[in-house]
Amino acid sequence: MMIKTVKRAGIGFLFGMATGILLFGLISLTTQEKNYYVSSVLIDTVGDRNFSLFLQMLLTGIIGMASYAGFGFYDIEHWDMIRSGFVHLIVICPVIVPCVYGLGLISDVSDLLITFTIIILLYFSLWLCRYIVYKIQIKSLNIMQNMISNKKMD
């Protein structure tokens, strides 16, 4: 279980970095900024574009790592999906909020509330997707089990 979590954390870190670059690239393209792939707020805060990019990749990687490694809560067999999902959300929120603040995306309380709303909406939609996938998997396993039990009766 620990090896699986460490692998998830590594993959999550890479996905987080890639998502961060893509996200800030799209933001800079839509706002006509000249700082492609780097937060202009972060550049203004840090002062150096290269270090800002490094810091941005590090923080978005940490977000991805915490989010993806936290999927290990779903592997605890005696927990239902609601409990696993709630614990996962409670664990990743204290990681996401400081990282988003470090990226310069939160400047006041309204930004914090917007960030929490976005996190909860994204989390709920991802949880719903996982729930649908699990439901489909369980249905196919039940069909396979019925087929096997019918063959044994014959």
Considering only CA atoms, which of 69, 68, 87 is closest in space to residue 5? Answer: 69
Rounded to whole angstroms, the Cα distance separating 59 from 73 reads 22
What pLDDT was estimated at residue 67? Answer: 87
CB 35 within 8 A of CB 28: yes
What pLDDT was estimated at residue 131? Answer: 85
Place of tokens 């196919």: 140
The helix/strand/coil state of 32 is coil
What pLDDT was estimated at residue 36? Answer: 65
- 11 pLDDT band, cuts 50/70/90, is very high
CB atoms within 10 A of CB 75: 12
For 101, half-sphere exposure in the C-beta direction (CA atoms, 13 angstrom radius) is 13
Place of tokens 């940490």: 62
Question: Does residue 62 carry a pLDDT above 90?
Answer: yes
Mean pLDDT of 63-79: 86
Q: Among the listed ranges 21-25, 55-59, 135-139, which one has the minimum average pLDDT value? A: 21-25
What type of residue is 72? G
